[in-house]
Every structure is written in structure tokens, then in C-alpha cells.
Structure 1
Amino acid sequence: METVIETRAFDRAARDAGMTDAERTSAILTIAADPEAGDLIVGTGGCRKVRIAGRGHGKSGGYRVITFYTCPEGVYLLTVFGKGEKASLTGAEKNALARLTTALKR
């Protein structure tokens, strides 16, 4: 199991998306067990999009958690959004994540 680091942006986004404590715990345990889970997001410097089940909707209607794994620190939870909120990240969001991952790699 890897260390999971929840960023302030993730905390805020999780509240805004309506994630329950149980859903957050499930997401953390899933990601800690497999830090390289999810689809690699091109143009972000190594971020991944992990699908997490939400209140009776399963993974297809649940949440998308954006993560970044770096050794030896662990897995950063960068943000989260509900599947119904948006389909994917914009170019500007990908660029912002690329800048963030560059800083985290230092």
C-alpha cells in the first residue's frame, strides 16, 4: 500500500462533487492498493484518471479522481469530479496539471 496525499484542491472538489466520507475512504483505499490504476492522461506529465463508484451508480456514473504517483512520496489526489459534471479535462486543465506535476517531481 502506498501513501496517499490528499491536496486541498482535492478536498474542495470532493466536497463540491458531493462525495461522502465512505466514498472518499473507498477511493483512498483503491488508489493506495494500486497507485498506477486508471488511464494515463496525455499532456499532464503523468496524471491518471481513476474511476470510482458513486452512490449506487457504479463506476460508469461515479467519480473521476485525478492522481499523480511519485516515488517515494506516494500518490497525490489532485482533484475529483462527478461523471455527470464533465466528460474530460480541458486543454487548459491539462496544462495546469503538467505544471503541477513538474513542481511535484522536484
Structure 2
Amino acid sequence: MVIIESSIFTKLIKELMSDDEYKDFQEVLVNRPDTGDLIQGSGGLRKIRWKLERRGKSGGVRIIYYWVTADDQIRMLYAYPKGKQENLTKEQLAVLKKMIERWSDGQ
């Protein structure tokens, strides 16, 4: 399994998680790429809710990714703190869907 990160994801995840926390998350995701909930109307995007240790009740993160089963890839797209928002806006969802389409077209 290969994990590929968008540039915005890399920037955001460094702000939200320590290297050790992200490593733990990656191990879980590689072993169970279907862990995240499918986002309705997204074309296959998934959202996983990840609790962070010692960060309080609202200290978790939401991570949006796309699992490409044929290529055995997980494409990490976006991350945000739980306290910031619960779900993606329609605009955010549209942008992420376009990212997947461009990625699939090889751009």
C-alpha cells in the first residue's frame, strides 16, 4: 500500500499531528483502508475521525482521503481539527472531487 499526500494535506497534517501520531494513523489506515466513512455524493471520498491523545474533548482531527483499490494507493487530501468543523462544505467537497479527477487523469 502506498500513501500519497496532496501538498495541502502535508501542510495541514504537520500542524495537527506529531510525527508519531501520524505514523500510528498511517499504520491503521494501511491495514484497514476502508476504515473511514464514505462521504455521500463524493465519488468515493472517505472521512476518518481520529482522536488525539491528551488534547481534550474536541482535540481530534478529521482526515479526508481517497482509496484507489486498483492501484493499492491511499491519497491523502485534506485534514482539519474536529473543533473547526464537523463536515465538509459543498464547496470544499467540489474542490476535493476535482483533485481526485485530475489525479486520475494523470495531471
Mark yes or no: TM-score above 0.5: yes
Question: How much has 1:85 moved relative to structure 2?
Answer: 1.5
Corresponding letter in the other structure for 2:77: L
Residue 24 of structure 2: aligned partner:
26
Alignment: residue pair count: 104
TM-score (norm 1): 0.85
Partner in structure 1 of residue 73 of structure 2: 74
Aligned alpha-carbon RMSD (Å): 2.0
Taking the TM superposition and a 5 Å limit, the aligned residue runs for 1:56-95 are 56-57=54-55, 61-70=59-68, 71-95=70-94
Question: Which of the two has higher C-alpha Rg?
Answer: 2
Unaligned segments of structure 1, at least 5 residues: none
Contact 2:58 2:83 in 1 (8 A): no
On the 8 A contact 1:43/1:95 being kept in 2, the answer is no
Q: Which blocks of at least 5 consecutive residues in structure 2 are unaligned?
A: none
Query: What amino acid is the match of 2:45?
Result: C
Take 1:58 and 1:33, find their aligned partners in 2: how far apart are those partners? 27
How far is the alpha carbon of 1:73 from its aligned partner?
Answer: 4.8
Match of 1:40 in 2: 38
Q: For 2:52 and 2:31, how far apart are their aligned partners in 1?
A: 19
Residues 1:53 and 2:51 aligned together = yes
